[in-house]
């Protein structure tokens, strides 16, 4: 039997989420930003599974499957956009995408 | 079982940390794959074998591979200098502080929870399947449509128009290719 | 009768409204019709009411029309009340009649101008305001008309606004008359504070019963009202605006600066004569100012080159005569001279305008000459007007009115031999500069050929005015020549009769002297300017001529004393410190905008950071709640 307190598990998921958040804020390369978003998705899904295991219900796992679907769709579209961006700007710098700025 | 959990958790944390601080994109992605493997072990310990399998198949096997394909296609993996220039230590200060604050928030939230231990009962895939196609049938169909939308969007957004340029205009080829379409 | 009286000022105001609102959409004929007919209807009504007034005099010799209550606040209740008595009857007759003739004249004169509707609108507004001024029964309504004519004077002097010079002239006129207006409103305040009413008749009754002869309050009130009169009538020391006001069109000069607006001061003093009688020092000051002004302006007119400026200085000088008359207590004589002067001065301005029009905007009299053969009608009307101005004996109206003033300057209770001598010298100078003008413009060799000939609409008003310049004097003949006293009898109920101290010298002696003086002035002008012009060529270049040309240097003195310090201060205060407060507010807003727009730099990571900070805030707050 597994006797890990649920707070530790949630803490673990939170740590993973925060690491993904730090990566999102710090990195400038678009690929790394997407990767950090993936980490955050994953940790959010992990919280679902933890909850499902806590209440001994199946719904947590089903939620994780849906979340996985969303992640897959999002990654494919996001990478297509990165391809377009690379072909236009010839760089993967996220700071170059600033055409919507206030021009003052 | 508990120790396996803690070891896997430590591996996951360390490899995620290396992934987000990595200079080389391919290496960072490989670290991330390691992290995903560790997480799938944790899922297994928690009694969700189906999810553990799915995590490896889809997440580590499809999504990450897609990432690696794109990086290889764009051929940008080997630029260490740019990454070094962009990632100075002082960039990390503010995000770390903010995350630390969030962490403290989270811990304080958890203090108010009742203490139960995890049960760890294994939930077989059969149950997941039954629930998926009976209770959550609508969600499954919608997920399918979402994937369809993802396919169409990815195809359309990734398309590039090939320009056919007459050979007399070949010198201006570069300028035209450089303009925004 | 009463409603007709109210229509007299309302018709021109109605004409103004119509022209102001729809003038740009009306055809030229419609505009001319509206402008002239509105004043024409006023003339008709004036003649009708005047005849009714004369034939069957109403009770008390006065008609009062109370239209509506204007306001009633703070202890002051005022109504729009029009009062027709003999004095205002004379004035409205002059205003509407001469106004109508000038409107007809300007149908042709201003025909080529693009601001045709604007011109007639302003002229109608002017006539309406002036009528309100003379018909007003309380001081505030009078002040309303006063300000109205001041406004129209500004608008009409600067009518051709595209030339900056005209704008400066209009501004100068407005500012100088404003100084007078301020004195006048303080005088009105003074009267109100003491008597709590602004009704003129009530004021006069209470003043004569409460204030004794020579009381300081009466002196102050009269002095302040005199200040207002000085501004509007262009007397010393506020006379500098009138020569520059000739920048406006000739009909404007004829109507406003010859016949009507500049005589508003005369009307004011005549209306409030009780106050002036209670303050003999001020009344003497009126006479002295009149005498000084007529001399000063007369000498200045001798040295002018511009046709209209000669006439402007002449106007200042003749109004000096009216002030002289009022100052010695010859009230009706002053009004008589006003009426006669209105006729011949308007005629002179219209004829002068016709000459300028014919010579294609040539104003310099030294570039004119020999025009009497080419422009005969203008010549004869101008000659009649000049004779009346120079008081040619026996046949012109000007002789009778000016002679009456000179006689009363000697013989009236407040009369003084010095005043008579000043008036006599003024008469000499008047005839000299007038006929200098006539000889230089119409006799001698032709320098500029006339190109346009004035049409009938311009000539007929001039002929009518010439007719009146001759016969208008016959309603008031002196004792030795028939002793006709229609005019003074008319004004008897309103203005007190002059108290003459009958001296040893009979009046006919004075008439002889006056007649001789005017004839000798004409002869000297003939000698100097026609027969032997080389005698005056040195005068024309001399320093004294330049001094007189500049109006005795008043402009320079005022510039040094008032204008330059004010301009210096205004230049110093260009970024004035009060502005700093308001502009600081604007700059703070701009700075805030700059700060906020930095946060909109289009970078994803900035925005994500903003999200995260917001999430941190909200979570912290919600957890701790």
Whether residues B109 and B130 share a domain: the answer is no
> Residue B79 has what pLDDT?
63
DSSP C477: -
pLDDT of residue C133: 93
What pLDDT does residue C100 have? 93
| pLDDT higher than threshold 80 for residue A15 | yes
Question: Domain for residue B156, yes or no?
Answer: yes
**Confidence band for B77, pLDDT divided at 50, 70 and 90:** low
Q: How confident is the model at residue A36 (pLDDT cuts 50, 70, 90)?
A: very high
What SS3 string covers C22-83?
Answer: HHHHCCHHHHHHHHHHHHHHHHHHHHHHHHHHHHCCCHHHCEEEEEEEEEEECCEEEEEEEE
Q: Is residue B59 part of a domain?
A: yes
Mean predicted confidence (pLDDT) in C308-323: 91
- Name the most confidently modeled range: B98-102, C203-207, C442-446: B98-102
B24 → chain A, closest CA residue: A32
- Residue B11, domain CATH: 1.20.120.1200
In tens, the pLDDT along C77-88 reads: 888 889 888 888
Instruction: List C-alpha distances in Å: C344 to C124, C298, C358, C385.
Output: 22, 17, 21, 5
Count of domains for chain B: 2
Please tell me whether residues B76 and B154 are part of one structural domain. no
- What is the predicted ipTM? 0.89
Distance CA C368, CA C445 (A): 8
- Asked whether the CA dihedral C100, C103, C104, C105 is positive or negative, the reply is positive
Q: Which residue of A has its CA nearest to C595?
A: A104
- B88-105 pLDDT, tens digit each: 777 788 889 988 988 888
Element (H, E) at C84: strand C76-84
The span from the CA of C385 to the CA of C458, in Å, is 16
User: Considering the domain boundaries, does residue B9 fall inside one?
Assistant: yes
C156-171 burial, b at 16+ Cβ within 10 Å, e below that, comes to bbbbeeeeeebbebbe
What is the structure's pLDDT at A97?
79
Nearest to C619 among B94, B95, B102 (CB): B102
Among candidates C355, C351, C354, which has minimal Cα distance to C367? C355
**Of the residues B66, B81, B114, which one is the last residue of a structural domain?**
B114
| B35 and B81, same domain (yes or no) | yes
Structure tokens at B94: 């503010």
Interface test with C, best of B98, B107, B110, B112 (most C CBs within 10 A): B98
Q: Kindly state whether residue B72 falls inside one of the protein's structural domains.
A: yes
Same domain flag for B59 and B26: yes
- Mean pLDDT across B116-121: 66
Q: What is the DSSP letter of B47?
A: T
The predicted-structure confidence for C46-100, as pLDDT tens digits, reads as follows: 998 888 888 887 777 788 888 888 888 877 888 888 988 888 888 999 999 999 9
Chain-centroid distance of CA C313 in Å reads 13
Q: Which residue has the higher pLDDT, B171 or C496?
A: C496
pLDDT at B116: 66
**What SS3 class is residue A93?**
strand
Average pLDDT over residues C179-185: 93
* Residue B46 sits in the same domain as residue B80: yes
**Max mean pLDDT range (A91-95, C80-84, C519-523):** C80-84
User: Token pair for residue C493?
Assistant: 């109920």
Instruction: Show which subunits contact B, needing at least 3 CB pairs below 8 angstroms.
Output: A, C
In angstroms, what separates the C-alpha of C620 from chain B's closest C-alpha? 6
Taking the Cβ of residue A18 and every Cβ of chain C, the question of whether any pair is shorter than 8 Å is answered with no
What range defines the domain where residue B15 resides? Answer: 1-114
Q: Is residue B57 part of a domain?
A: yes
Q: Please state, as a whole number, how many other Cβ atoms lie within 10 Å of the Cβ of residue C257.
A: 28
pLDDT tens by residue, C593-616: 998 888 888 788 888 888 889 988
Whether residues B71 and B132 share a domain: the answer is no
Contact state of C613 with B101 under an 8 Å Cβ cutoff: no
Percent of chain B scoring above 70 in pLDDT: 81
B174 located within any domain:
yes
Cα C216 to Cα C211: distance, rounded to the nearest angstrom: 9
Both B145 and B173 in one domain: the answer is: yes
H/E element holding C102? helix C86-109
Q: What is the mean pLDDT of residues A49-68?
A: 90
- Enumerate the residues of chain B whose CB falls inside 8 A of the CB of residue A7: 110, 113, 115
Instruction: Give the A window 56-95 contacts with B, CB below 8 Å.
Output: 56, 58-62, 64-66, 68-77, 79-84, 86-88, 92-93
From the list C155, C145, C168, the residue with the least C-alpha distance to C122 is: C155
Q: What is d(CA C564, CA C552) in angstroms, rounded to the nearest whole number?
A: 19
pLDDT given for residue C149 in this prediction: 92
DSSP-based three-state secondary structure for C413: coil
Alpha carbon of residue C234 to chain centroid: 8
On whether residue B119 sits in a domain, the answer given is no
A contacts of C601 (beta carbons < 8 Å):
98, 101-102
Residues of A in contact with B20 (CB under 8 A): 19-20, 22-23, 26-27, 32, 35-36, 39
pLDDT at site B50: 93
B52 and B23 assigned to the same domain: yes
Last residue of a domain, one of B114, B143, B167: B114
Q: What is the pLDDT of residues C528-539, one digit of tens each?
A: 777 776 666 666
Q: Is C609 exposed, middle or buried (0-12, 13-18, 19+ CB in 10 A)?
A: middle
Which has the higher per-residue pLDDT, C263 or B60? Answer: B60
Mean pLDDT along residues B59-66:
92
Percentage of residues in chain C having pLDDT higher than 90:
23
pLDDT, one tens digit per residue, over C531-561 is 776 666 666 667 777 777 777 878 888 888 8
Q: How distant is the Cα of A103 from the closest Cα of chain B, in angstroms?
A: 20
Q: Compare CB distances from C619 to B94, B95, B105 and report the shortest one's residue.
A: B105
C-beta atoms of C603 and A21 within 8 A: no
Q: Is C593 on the interface with A (CB under 8 A)?
A: yes
Per residue in C93-130, pLDDT tens? Answer: 999 999 999 999 999 888 888 888 899 999 999 999 99
Final residue belonging to a domain, choices B61, B81, B114: B114
Give how far Cα C4 sits from Cα of A85, C46, C87, Å: 88, 9, 18
Q: Which of A54, C615, A26, A60 is nearest to B106 (CA)?
A: C615
3-class SS string, C544-607: HHHHHHCCCCHHHHHHHHHHHHHHHHHHHCCCCHHHHHHHHHHHHHHHHHHHHHHCCCCCHHHH
B141 and B88 in a common domain = no
Q: Is residue B76 part of a domain?
A: yes
Are residues B97 and B51 both part of a single domain? yes
B29 in the same domain as B92: yes
Say yes or no: B37 and B107 in one domain. yes
pLDDT at position B181 is 46
User: Which of C593, C594, C602 lies at the smallest CB-CB distance from A101?
Assistant: C602
C502-517 mean pLDDT: 76
| Least confidently predicted of A37-51, B106-120, C362-376 | B106-120
Contacts of B93 in chain C (CB under 8 A): none
Q: Predicted confidence band at A16 (pLDDT cuts at 50, 70, 90)?
A: very high
| pLDDT for C580 | 80
pLDDT for the residue C64:
83
Query: Which of A22, A53, A87 lies closest to B99 in CB terms?
Result: A22
């Amino acid at each position: 039997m597994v006797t890990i307190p649920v707070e530790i598990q949630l803490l673990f998921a939170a740590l993973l989420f925060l690491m993904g958040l730090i990566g999102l804020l710090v990195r400038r390369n678009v690929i790394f930003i997407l990767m950090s978003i993936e980490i955050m998705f994953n940790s959010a899904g992990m919280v679902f599974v933890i909850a499902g295991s806590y209440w001994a219900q199946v719904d947590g796992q089903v939620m994780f499957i849906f979340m996985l679907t969303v992640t897959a769709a999002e990654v494919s579209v996001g990478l297509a956009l990165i391809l377009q961006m690379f072909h236009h700007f010839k760089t993967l710098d996220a700071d170059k995408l600033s055409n919507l700025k206030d021009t003052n | 079982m508990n120790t396996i959990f803690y070891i896997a958790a430590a591996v996951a944390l360390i490899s995620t940390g290396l992934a987000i601080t990595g200079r080389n994109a391919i290496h960072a992605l490989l670290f991330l794959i390691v992290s995903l493997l560790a997480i799938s072990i944790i899922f297994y310990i928690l009694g969700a074998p189906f999810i553990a399998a799915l995590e490896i198949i889809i997440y580590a096997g499809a999504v990450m591979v897609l990432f690696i394909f794109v990086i290889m296609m764009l051929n940008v993996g080997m630029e260490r200098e740019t990454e070094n220039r962009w990632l100075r230590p002082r960039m990390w200060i503010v995000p770390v502080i903010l995350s630390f604050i969030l962490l403290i928030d989270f811990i304080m939230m958890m203090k108010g929870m009742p203490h139960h231990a995890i049960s760890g009962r294994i939930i077989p895939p059969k149950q997941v399947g039954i629930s998926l196609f009976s209770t959550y049938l609508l969600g499954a169909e919608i997920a399918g449509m979402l994937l369809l939308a993802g396919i169409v969007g990815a195809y359309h957004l990734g398309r590039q128009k090939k320009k056919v340029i007459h050979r007399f205009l070949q010198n201006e080829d570069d300028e035209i290719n450089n303009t925004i379409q | 009768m009463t409603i007709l009286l109210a229509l007299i000022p309302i018709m021109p105001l109605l004409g103004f409204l119509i022209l102001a609102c729809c003038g740009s959409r009306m055809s030229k004929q419609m505009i001319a019709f509206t402008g002239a007919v509105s004043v024409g209807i006023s003339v008709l009504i004036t003649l009708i009411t005047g005849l009714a007034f004369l034939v069957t005099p109403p009770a008390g010799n006065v008609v009062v029309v109370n239209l509506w209550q204007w306001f009633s606040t703070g202890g002051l209740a005022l109504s729009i009340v029009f009062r027709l008595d003999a004095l205002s009857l004379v004035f409205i007759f002059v205003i509407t009649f001469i106004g109508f003739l000038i409107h007809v004249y300007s149908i042709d004169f201003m025909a080529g101008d693009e601001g045709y509707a604007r011109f007639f609108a302003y002229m109608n507004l002017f006539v309406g305001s002036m009528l309100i001024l003379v018909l007003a029964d309380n001081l505030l309504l009078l002040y309303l008309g006063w300000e109205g004519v001041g406004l129209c004077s500004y608008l009409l002097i600067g009518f051709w606004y595209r030339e900056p010079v005209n704008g400066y002239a209009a501004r100068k006129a407005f500012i100088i008359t404003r100084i007078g207006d301020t004195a006048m409103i303080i005088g009105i305040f003074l009267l109100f504070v003491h008597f709590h009413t602004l009704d003129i008749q009530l004021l006069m009754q209470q003043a004569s019963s409460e204030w004794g002869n020579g009381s300081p309050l009466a002196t102050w009130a009269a002095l302040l009202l005199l200040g207002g009169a000085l501004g509007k009538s262009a007397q010393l020391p506020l006379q500098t605006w009138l020569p520059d006001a000739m920048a406006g069109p000739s009909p404007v000069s004829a109507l406003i600066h010859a016949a009507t607006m500049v005589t508003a001061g005369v009307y004011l003093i005549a209306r409030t004569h009780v106050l002036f009688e209670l303050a003999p020092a001020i009344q003497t000051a009126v006479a002295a100012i009149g005498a000084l002004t007529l001399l000063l302006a007369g000498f200045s007119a001798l040295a002018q080159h511009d046709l209209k400026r000669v006439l402007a200085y002449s106007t200042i000088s003749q109004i000096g005569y009216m002030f002289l008359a009022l100052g010695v207590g010859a009230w009706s004589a002053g009004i008589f001279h006003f009426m006669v002067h209105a006729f011949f001065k308007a005629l002179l301005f219209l004829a002068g305008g016709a000459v300028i029009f014919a010579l294609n905007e040539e104003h310099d009299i030294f570039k004119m000459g020999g025009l009497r053969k080419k422009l005969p009608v203008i010549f004869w009307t101008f000659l009649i007007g000049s004779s009346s101005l120079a008081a040619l004996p026996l046949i012109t109206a000007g002789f009778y009115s000016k002679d009456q003033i000179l006689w009363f300057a000697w013989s009236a209770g407040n009369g003084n031999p010095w005043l008579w001598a000043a008036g006599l010298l003024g008469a000499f100078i008047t005839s000299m500069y007038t006929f200098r003008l006539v000889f230089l413009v119409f006799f001698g060799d032709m320098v500029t050929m006339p190109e346009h000939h004035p049409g009938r609409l311009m000539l007929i008003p001039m002929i009518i005015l010439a007719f009146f310049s001759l016969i208008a004097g016959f309603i008031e003949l002196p004792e030795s020549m028939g002793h006709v006293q229609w005019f003074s009898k008319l004004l008897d109920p309103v203005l007190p009769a002059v108290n003459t101290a009958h001296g040893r010298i009979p009046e006919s002696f004075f008439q002889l002297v006056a007649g001789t003086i005017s004839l000798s002035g004409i002869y000297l002008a003939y000698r100097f300017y026609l027969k032997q012009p080389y005698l005056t060529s040195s005068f024309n270049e001399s320093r004294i001529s330049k001094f007189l040309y500049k109006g005795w240097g008043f402009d320079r003195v005022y510039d040094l004393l008032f204008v330059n310090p004010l301009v210096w201060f205004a230049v110093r205060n260009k970024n004035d410190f009060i502005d700093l407060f308001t502009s600081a507010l604007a700059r703070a807003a701009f700075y805030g905008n700059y700060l906020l727009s930095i946060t909109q730099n289009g970078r994803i990571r900035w925005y994500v950071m903003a999200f995260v900070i917001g999430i941190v805030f909200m979570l912290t707050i919600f957890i701790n709640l």
